[in-house]
Structure 1
Amino acid sequence: MKVIIFSVSAGAGHAKAAEAVKNHIEFNNPNSEVIIIDTLKYINPIIDKVVIGGYLKSLKISPAIFGKLYDYTETDYGLALISAKLNEIMTFKLIPLIHDFDPDIMIATHPFPTEMLSILKTKHKTEVPIVSILTDYAPHSFWIHPSIDAYVVSTADMIEDICVKGIPKDSIYDLGIPTNRDFLIKYNKRDTLGEMGLSPHVKTLLIMGGSLGLGKIEEVYEDLLKVNNELQIIVVTGNNKKLYNDLIKYHNIKIGNKKTHIIGFTNKVNKYMQASDLLLTKPGGLTITEALICNLPMALFSPIPGQEEKNAEFLLKNNLAVYLKENQITSIIEDLLREEKYLEEMKKNTIKFSKPYAGQNLYILLDELVKKNEFKELSIM
C-alpha cells in the first residue's frame, strides 16, 4: 500500500496523528510505502512561516483572537470563500508530488489539506481515495468538504453534526483518533511511581499543557500546593523550556505534604498517564484521546478558544472531566479528593469512550477503500 499523509505543524496534535497512522499502516503491512507531508511547508516555507507562525503566536499572546476567527469561519461564508480560494491556489503545487508518488490512498489530519484534496478530487485531478481524520471532539465547517471518501471521527456525537453539513452518513466512521501503538503497552503503576521516588499509596496528579507546554500550568501547580490533602504532582512541561526552568527547582523536593516530579519533553506520556489518578490539562484532541485510553479522568484549564472549548464541552457533558475555574482550583481538587466516588465515576466513564484500537480499525478501512478503488478501476478497463 502506497500512502501519502498530509498534515500541518500547527501544534503537535495533527502531526502526532499522522505519525500514529503511519505507525499502524507499517505495522499491519510492512511492505507499505508511507510518507508524511507537512503540507504548507512543502508548498511554500514562507507561507508556512506566516500562517503557522502567526497561529502559534496568537495562541501564546491572545488566544481570544483565534477563538473569534474560529467562530467567524463557522458562520461567515465570505471568510470561508477567501480561505477556499487561497487553498485552491496552493493545491495545484501538490499535483506533481501525487503524480510522482502515485499513492493508493491519501489521508489528511488537518483541515487545510482536507480542503486541498477535496479540490483536486472535485476537479478530477485525482481518483485516489481520500480519508480525513478529524483530530478534535466536535466538527468545524473547515473540515467538511465534498469528494472526501471517508471522514474518521472521534465520537459518534459528531456524526449528526457532519451529516447536517451535507456529508453522507455512510462516509462517516466512528473509529476514534489513532494514537501511537505504544499506547497499547501496559505499565505497572507501582514500578513507574517507584522510578520517580513516588508512593503508590498517595494520590498522583499529572499536569500537562500539550507538547508546547501552553496554558497556565505554573498557576495551576501553585494552586495545587495549597490543597490540604497529601499529593504527588507530576508536571510534564513539553517543549516549553522557560516553564521547565521555572519549575525544576521543585523537582523531587517535598513542600509540606506534596512531592513534585518535573519532566521536560517525553515520549513516555502513556507511562505517566497510567501512573496517575487525575490529569490536569488543556483539552487538546490527542491528549484527550490518550487520557481516555489510559482510563484517566481529567480536570481542564486554559482551553484554546474554539476547538478546545468544544472538546471541553464534550468531556463535561459525558462526565469525563471537571472544569478548573480560576480562583477555585484548590477547592475543586479538594472536593474531588474528598468525594472519591466522583473520580471513580469519571474513570468508569472513560471506558465507554476509549478507542485504543482506532489505528487498527483505521487500517482495515484504508485497506477496504484501496481494494474498492482497484476493483472500480478494473471495471472501467
Structure 2
Amino acid sequence: MAKKILIMSASTGGGHNRAARAIKEELESKTISGEPIHCEIIDSLKLVNNTMDKIISRGYEKSAIYTPKAYGSVYRLSETSLISRNEFKGNLLTSYMSQKFKKLLSEAKPDLIIGTHPFPMIAFSTLKKSYDTYVSISLKAEPFHRHSIKLDVPPMISVLTDYTTHSTWIQNEIDYYIVGHEYVKELLIAEGVDNDKIKAFGIPVEKSFLSHRDRDTVLSELGLSTDKLTVLLMGGSFGAGNIKETLDELLEIDRDFQILVITGRNESLKEKIDKKISSIEHDKNISILGFTNKMNDILASVDVLITKPGGLTTTEALLKDVPMIVPYYIPGQEEENLDFLSNCGSALRTTKKYTLPVLLKVLIDDPSRLDALKKNVRSIRKFNSAQNISSLVVNILEES
C-alpha cells in the first residue's frame, strides 16, 4: 500500500512553504516496496481558520516591515523561563489547532508527518502526548475500555528553517530534527535534545534552484554590464528591510559597480524606487525588479548580496556561492541567522562605524577579501538536504 506523508507548513514568510515544496518534490520521486509515496502540503493556519491565518501570517508580514523591534521582543520573551520548552502545548492557539488536527489525522491517516513550521508540530505533539497518556492508563483498565483508543500520531520530523533554535521547535514527541548546520545541532543538544535525533542535513531547496543560466546572458537581460562587480539589494519575499535608505548609501559610494534591486511583492516600494532613480543624478548602472521567479539565475550572477538574513534566503545565497552584507534584519531568528553567518566568516554585518560604504569599498578595492568570504561560504553550505531527508523518511517507513 502506498505511504502517505503530511507536510505541515505555514505562510509566515516564504521559507516554510519553499522548504515544504522541496521535500515533497524529492519524496514523490521515491518508492517503498514498489509503491509511490503520496505527499500533501498543508498550510496549517489556513486549515485551522482563515481568519486566524490572516491575523498571524499578515501580522508577521506587517511586523517585519513596520514594527520589527516589537516582533523581536515577543521572540525573546518566548525564549525566557517564563515560557519554557514543551509548555507551548497549553497555549490557546496550539490547543485549538490540536483539536482541528484530530479530524485531519482520522481522515488522512498519514504514515509520517513532517513540519517546516513549529506551530503544527506543537499541536501534533499535544495530541501524541495525550494519546500516549491515554494508552498507558487504558491498558491498565478492563479490556472493554481499550476499543475507545482511536487516535494514533505517526512518527514526526521537524525541519528547522533558520540557522538557530527556538523553544517552540523543541518538543519531546518529535522523532527527528533536521537542522541547517552542525552549529545548530549543538544548540539543540545544549537544550537537551538527544544527539541521535538531530540530522545536520541543511535547509532544503528545490532542485530547479540548483541549476542556472550563463551569467553574461542573465546580466545582459537585466540591462547590466557583464564586466562590472554586481551588487544585489533586496529584502524578504514582501520587500521588508530599509531598501530605500540602503540604496541611497550605495549611490553615494565612489566606486565603479552596478546595482540590481529586487523589491519582491511590494509594488509600492518598486514604484517609489523607480520614481526616485529617474529623478536624481547618479553614476551607477541600476536595474530594478519586482517579484521574480528567477532567483536561481540571479544569485548565480551577482558578486555581493545585501539583504536581510531569512533562513531560505541565507541558504540560497550559500548554495550560489554569494557572500552577504547584512545592514538590516528582523530581531529574533534573523538576528541569530546573522550570528551564525558572522561566526562562520561568510557574511559582513554593518555597525554604526563599520557602515555599508566602508565594508563594500574594501571588498571592491581588495578582491582577495571577497574571495576569502566565498571560501568560507563554500565551507558551510550543504547540498542534497531534500534528498537526505527523503532517504531518512524511507528508512523510517521501511522499518515501521
Same fold (TM over 0.5): yes
Match of 1:49 among 50, 54, 68: 54
Cα offset, 1:355, TM superposition: 1.3
C-alpha separation between the residues in 1 aligned to 2:70 and 2:123? 25
Alignment of 1:10-159 (within 5 A): 10-29=12-31, 31-78=36-83, 81=87, 84-86=90-92, 87-124=94-131, 125-159=151-185
Residue 331 (structure 2) pairs with residue 329 (structure 1): no
C-alpha separation between the residues in 2 aligned to 1:250 and 1:191? 28
Task: Give me the TM-score of the superposition, normalised by structure 2.
Answer: 0.88
Paired residue secondary structure (1:2): strand
User: Counterpart amino acid of 1:84?
Assistant: G
Cα offset, 1:196, TM superposition: 1.8
Q: Is the 8 A contact 1:250 1:260 kept in 2?
A: no
Identity among equivalent positions (%) equals 36
Structure 2 spans left out of the alignment, 5+ residues? 132-150
Cα offset, 1:82, TM superposition: 6.0
Largest Rg, 1 or 2: 2
C-alpha separation between the residues in 2 aligned to 1:253 and 1:294? 34
Structure 1 spans left out of the alignment, 5+ residues? 374-381
C-alpha separation between the residues in 1 aligned to 2:218 and 2:70? 40
Residue 179 (structure 2) pairs with residue 177 (structure 1): no
Q: Encode CA deviations 1:68-121: one digit per residue, 9 max, x unaligned.
A: 111111113348646633212321211211221121211111111121122222
C-alpha separation between the residues in 2 aligned to 1:289 and 1:215? 18
1:95–1:222 Cα change, 3 Å: same
Q: Encode CA deviations 1:252-301: one digit per residue, 9 max, x unaligned.
A: 99964411111111111111000000000100000000000001000012
Alignment of 1:315-354 (within 5 A): 315-325=341-351, 328-354=355-381
Residue 227 (structure 2) pairs with residue 201 (structure 1): yes
Paired residue secondary structure (1:107): strand
Alignment of 1:219-298 (within 5 A): 219-249=245-275, 256-298=282-324
- What is the number of residues matched between the two proteins? 373
Q: Is the 8 A contact 2:77 2:83 kept in 1?
A: no
C-alpha separation between the residues in 2 aligned to 1:22 and 1:154? 18
Q: Is the 8 A contact 1:184 1:356 kept in 2?
A: no
Q: Is the 8 A contact 1:108 1:132 kept in 2?
A: yes
C-alpha separation between the residues in 2 aligned to 1:304 and 1:254? 30
C-alpha separation between the residues in 1 aligned to 2:394 and 2:206? 19
1:326–1:187 Cα change, 3 Å: farther
1:262–1:83 Cα change, 3 Å: farther
User: Counterpart amino acid of 1:55?
Assistant: Y
C-alpha separation between the residues in 2 aligned to 1:301 and 1:358? 28
Cα offset, 1:319, TM superposition: 0.8
Paired residue secondary structure (1:100): helix
The two structures, once aligned, show a CA RMSD in angstroms of: 2.1
Q: Encode CA deviations 1:136-170: one digit per residue, 9 max, x unaligned.
A: 00101111001111100001001122122222110
User: Counterpart amino acid of 1:173?
Assistant: K
Q: Which moved more, 1:316-325 or 1:84-93?
A: 84-93
C-alpha separation between the residues in 1 aligned to 2:243 and 2:282? 20
Q: Is the 8 A contact 2:323 2:347 kept in 1?
A: yes
User: Counterpart amino acid of 1:364?
Assistant: S
Paired residue secondary structure (2:28): helix
Aligned to 1:363: 390
Q: Is the 8 A contact 1:183 1:293 kept in 2?
A: no
Cα offset, 1:34, TM superposition: 1.5
Q: Encode CA deviations 1:222-277: one digit per residue, 9 max, x unaligned.
A: 11111111111111111111111112347899964411111111111111000000
C-alpha separation between the residues in 1 aligned to 2:19 and 2:245? 29
C-alpha separation between the residues in 2 aligned to 1:204 and 1:267? 19
Q: Is the 8 A contact 1:155 1:353 kept in 2?
A: yes
C-alpha separation between the residues in 2 aligned to 1:197 and 1:41? 40
C-alpha separation between the residues in 2 aligned to 1:372 and 1:251? 60
Q: Which moved more, 1:243-252 or 1:288-297?
A: 243-252
Q: Encode CA deviations 1:149-199: one digit per residue, 9 max, x unaligned.
A: 110000100112212222211010000110111122132111111222222
Q: Is the 8 A contact 1:110 1:134 kept in 2?
A: yes
Aligned to 1:376: none
C-alpha separation between the residues in 1 aligned to 2:213 and 2:380? 21
C-alpha separation between the residues in 2 aligned to 1:79 and 1:356? 33
Q: Is the 8 A contact 1:129 1:370 kept in 2?
A: no
Q: Encode CA deviations 1:310-351: one digit per residue, 9 max, x unaligned.
A: 000111111101113357222221122112111111111111
User: Counterpart amino acid of 1:195?
Assistant: E
